[in-house]
Every structure is written in structure tokens, then in C-alpha cells.
Homo-oligomer: A and B are copies of this chain.
Amino acid sequence: MNKAPDSAAGPRWLTDEEQHVWRAYLHATTLLEDHLDRQLQRDAGMPHVYYGLLVGLAEAPRRRLRMTELAMQAKITRSRLSHAVARLEKNGWVRREDCPADKRGQFAVLTDEGVEVLRRTAPGHVAAVRQALFDRLSPEQQKALGEIMEIVAEGLQPKEAGADLPWLR
């Protein structure tokens, strides 16, 4: 897929425009992430990733998901999830349950308290996202952003579709 080995012809540096775009990207994404992280830490007492876990559970069938599924949904490692759920459990927002069908498995279950936290904090969070992002972009820009992000995500998909050959990595 590469036209030529980088090392042979010198690295292909970013052009000025690319560099500009890249810096804008880094700048904006870190600012936005920090912003939302603080907003949630302040209003909900947890970081953005943890909030995402609760949302994931809230949308799942019986407000429960296997650990691995939840981890994949949130794009974090199982290890990280383990620690995170331990913390959320301490808060009373999530509970663990054994999986009857697979004795290795655990369900993470959103408790009523967890639902309540979401109910209370979701509006503020949505407002923050809206204000930081959607209120500032034209419909065309929103559409473009969606498409761009889909392309980028697709190129980085860790698994999915068996399209590539894991055993060659």
C-alpha cells in the first residue's frame, strides 16, 4: 500500500496544511476531552470514560453486559474495566453478577442508583456536548465530521470483520 519505503526517500513530512490541520485536531480534541472530563467530574463525580460505561449499561437489554462486551463497547481493556467497575461498584452505581451460562463470566449491572445518577447528570452532559460542538457547527460540517470520523475509526478498527489476518501481526 505504501508507494515507497519511508527510509529510502526520507520521511514524508506533513505539508504545512497538513500540519496545520493536525495541530488543530490535537488542540481541539484535547480541549474538548478535558472540558467534558471536568464537567462530568464536577457534576457526576466520575471521569468521562466511567460515564460512558454507565451509558453503555443503560442501553443494554437488562441494563447488564458481560465485562468483555462492555470493554469493547467502551474501547478499553478488560483490565481497565475491572478497575473501573470496582470503583463504580463502590459508588453503588454498578453491581456484578455471575453469568450462569459461563462460570468465568461476569455481568456488570447498572443499579437503580446508577440509573438515577444518569438521569440527574445526562442533561448537563448533553448540554455541554451541544454547546461545545453542535451549536458551533453548520449542518454540513456536522455531516462532514461524522463521515470523517467514521473513516478514521474504520481504519483503526482493532478487530471486526476478520478482514485482516491477525496471525500475521
Contact = CB atoms under 8 A, between A and B. Distances in A.
Given A22-B133, A130-B14, A147-B141, A28 B123 contact: no
A18 B70 CA distance: 23
Interface residues of A, number: 55
Given A12-B127, A126-B13, A27 B153 contact: yes
Contacts of A148: 28, 137, 141, 144-145
A158 to B, nearest CB: 8
A14 B134 CA distance: 9
Contacts of A91: none
A150 interface: yes
Nearest to A158: B31
A34 interface: yes
A41 interface: no
Given A29-B29, A32-B156, A148-B145, A134 B18 contact: yes
B134 A155 contact: no
Contact of A156 (B17, B28, B147): B28
Given A29-B29, A75-B34, A156-B132, A12 B149 contact: no
A151 interface: yes
Interface string A76-103: 0000000000000000000000000000
